[in-house]
Amino acid sequence: MWEHQSLFRVSAQLFAEGVFNLLDRSLRPEVFLLGFAAGREAEAPQAVVLEPASHRYSPADFRHVKNRAATLEANAGPQGSVYHLHPNDHDRSEKQHWYELVCQATESTLNELTATLGENRRSFCSAPVNLQGYLVTVVLQLAADCYEGYYSLPKPGNGRPINLPHAAVLEFMHDCSRALREADTADNDQPVLDRDYNELLRSAGRRLMLRVAPAGTHGLYDACNGVAALRHEGDEAIGTMLVSRRLHPAVVPVLTLETPVPMRDHRSIRKLLELSEGHTALISDASHVFGLGQLVPQSDSQFEPLVTVHFTNHYSWEVSHAGHVLMRVVSNTPRLPQGQVAADNFARVIRIVFPELSVDSSDYLWDLAQKATTQPNGTILVISAGAAHEAQRLTRQCFRVVPRIMTPTVLRLVTNIDGAVLIEPNGICHAIGAILDGLATAKGDSSRGSRYNSALRYVNSSKYPVLAVVVSEDGWIDLLPS
């Protein structure tokens, strides 16, 4: 299609891994390019081009995409047409509409392919870009079970994000389309996609907050960051704010301000946040705060789940809907809510690391892992076949204890201090507060904290079978090896 298509595809793949691994490593992003020759019949050679050419799909799988797009256009009828006074505007609109239909047809074809092949993949396509005689689209595939496992907002709309992973997909596709348009003029010695990963996630967070704001009011994401960054009389920003249109029937007013406070007035909003308590929250339409109120009981006929912003800590806040956390923001960095470790994933990993472990022992370790994930300040639970020897080796870097069976209650107490808890697969504890060591590894992640990287080094260097449950302070939960 063009000279540097391989470079672009590799750059897009690395970009996708950098972005989506920050959200959830189980998303496993895969990127490839698909090009449709503008002036060739579907059966002609090079009518459809795949990059890489050795992909598991073949060009023949996509030869009917343009016919399917034409069918979609015919089915849309006159109501799908928009007429403009200026001919150039009309041509531009028609071309954009055709590109959108090609994108829809490509996604439909990919969904059929993945279903036929039994692949656990969810596919997304960027808006096609006309590049040297080809309509080129970027295809992103994510693990379907992981992507669909996150809560989604109701009433999805075209181009409107339903959750943070979807918002990140939309931002990623926007960047890919922009880079494709610049492919002819950009300096190809430089990466074509080099935006900071966290900056893309911040843009995704803004896009999601725009989606939940009444009437699509801009600025809610940055306003929440501004409020969370402030202190009032030395106290951190802790409180709740309901986001709804004014005079919403599901909100019972408790106190109404005569003059609503603009959301850009962060200091005043931070002060008013002190009034929220229990079920009583600030009420905002994303533009102003106009008082205090409470959500009606769920049994009330007027009840409707509303978006709630919880200010949880200094520089920390989260957004939820119907009791499900959509996004957690720490230091202006959006992240997915990291809940409990999945039971099936833990059971799978523990069987790989300790194949001779009994079902009862595995279930007991699962109970301990669940308790470790509730530690708000983060911790590391290390399950090692050589826990006794490791406790002796790390004598000067831990608090050795008289060997005893570790219980969830005791685990909650001992994880209040820094360091790892060393236990054997049978649940016997040998040390607490252990400072882990290990050799540097290429698998390290500079975007993660010292707790994660020290556990990763330890697991990779250990001469004993070992499984580490890492709970980071910012809410991340990892199983190592994953």
| Cα 116 versus chain centre, distance | 28
**Tokens 């109120």 sit on residue:** 293
Sign of the torsion formed by the C-alpha atoms of 396, 401, 403 and 405? negative
pLDDT digits (tens, 9 = 90+) for 152-192: 998 776 778 999 999 999 999 999 988 888 876 655 545 56
pLDDT digits (tens, 9 = 90+) for 382-428: 999 999 999 999 999 999 999 999 998 899 899 888 899 999 999 99
What is the rounded CA–CA span in Å between residue 17 and residue 457?
21
Question: Residues 7, 8, 12, CA angle at the centre, nearest 5°?
Answer: 120
At 220 the pLDDT is 93
pTM: 0.75
Give me the amino acid identity at 171: E
Q: Which helix (H) or strand (E) holds 434?
A: strand 428-434
| Cα 280 versus chain centre, distance | 30
Buried b (16+ CB within 10 A) or exposed e, 148-164: eebeebeeeeeebbbbb
Tokens of 378: 């983060």
More confident residue, 287 or 378: 287
Helix ranges (DSSP H) in 118-187 = 144-147, 164-181
Name the phi and psi angles at 232, rounded to 5. Answer: -125, 115
Cβ-contact 122, 148 below 8 angstroms: yes
- Please give the C-alpha separations between residue 426 and each of 293, 370, 445, in angstroms, as whole numbers: 51, 16, 31
Cβ-contact 9, 33 below 8 angstroms: yes
pLDDT digits (tens, 9 = 90+) for 13-46: 999 999 998 888 789 999 999 988 876 555 556 7
What is the rounded CA–CA span in Å between residue 352 and residue 341?
16
Question: What's the full length of the chain, in residues?
Answer: 482
- Please give the C-alpha separations between residue 28 and each of 133, 160, 195, 198, 326, in angstroms, as whole numbers: 32, 23, 20, 18, 20
Tokens of 471: 């709970």
